[in-house]
Amino acid sequence: MAFIGILSVVVIIVGIVWSVIALIMKKDKMKPLITLGVGIAACIVAVIATPSSEEFAEAQASSERVEESKSKEQEAEASKEAEESKEQAIQESKEAKASEESQEKEVKESKQKEKEETEASKKKEEAENIDENFEFDDFNFEIYGAKINDESITLYMEYENMGYTDETPAISAVAVDVEQNGENLSGDNDEIKARGDDKTGAYADVKLGTKMPFTETFELENKKDDLEISVFPMMSDEESKKTKIELN
């Protein structure tokens, strides 16, 4: 529209100049007047078609608002992507840490089990073979050896979890009583840890279908009278089972 406005001004000037010359020289005035009229008409059209300053300002403001809205949307999208990327990185870090901790726990459990099996094997070699087996509904129990010390006897036993799904330790599932001459002998578990992650022996968690060896030492009344051993299931109503050990 600016071009039409400029062109119309030029045409009007040409029409005026041409009309003046035609008037002075007394020539045909129709063509100059037509030219002048066309210029005026074009100028009017250009003026009408040109937006006012308010309309122009509104159009510019509207364009700026659209651009600002697009910019905000882009910033929001970029922020969302950055947050999702951050959350994903945190999740991956947590998963990696959990996997590392799980592997460390498995390695630790494997080493502990190997240590206990080695100790149990060594104790088996030192102890007198007994081989007494007791089968209950939820566990099996074996007394596989005994060793008489100065004033005590150490029993070498093994507990096998056959029905408990919550990693029940031997101390919770079974109790062993030893009698001599009708008197209960006092006993202590040998080298056990009852708390923390390093629980061993009778206090160690035992998964379903796995075994755990442990020992228990009882103070003797004498070294000649036989011992009567009773095995009690602690988590059921089953009756106890008994066996005897001859000291002589």
CA distances (Å), 34 to each of 6, 15, 177, 191, 224, in order? 18, 8, 133, 124, 148
Q: Please, which pLDDT band fits residue 189 given cuts at 50, 70 and 90?
A: low
Judge contact between 162 and 174, C-beta under 8 A. Answer: no
Percent of the chain with pLDDT over 70: 66
Beta strands in the chain (DSSP E): 128-135, 139-148, 152-161, 174-180, 183-184, 187-189, 211-219, 227-233, 241-245
Q: Average pLDDT for residues 188-193, to the nearest whole number?
A: 52
Q: Give the pLDDT confidence of 62-111 residue by residue, as tens digits.
A: 777 777 777 778 888 888 888 888 888 888 888 888 888 888 888 877 77
Please state the rounded mean pLDDT for residues 155-184. 93
The pLDDT score that the predictor gives to residue 191 is: 47
Q: Which of 88-97, 163-172, 221-230 is predicted least confidently? A: 88-97
- Alpha-carbon gap, residue 150 to 79, rounded angstroms: 77
Burial of 229 from C-beta contacts in 10 A (0-12 / 13-18 / 19+)? buried
With cut-offs at 50, 70 and 90, classify the pLDDT of residue 207. Answer: very high
| pLDDT at 57 exceeding the cut of 80 | no
Count CB atoms within 10 A of the CB of residue 216: 20
pLDDT attached to residue 196:
43
C-alpha 213/C-alpha 170 separation (Å) is: 9
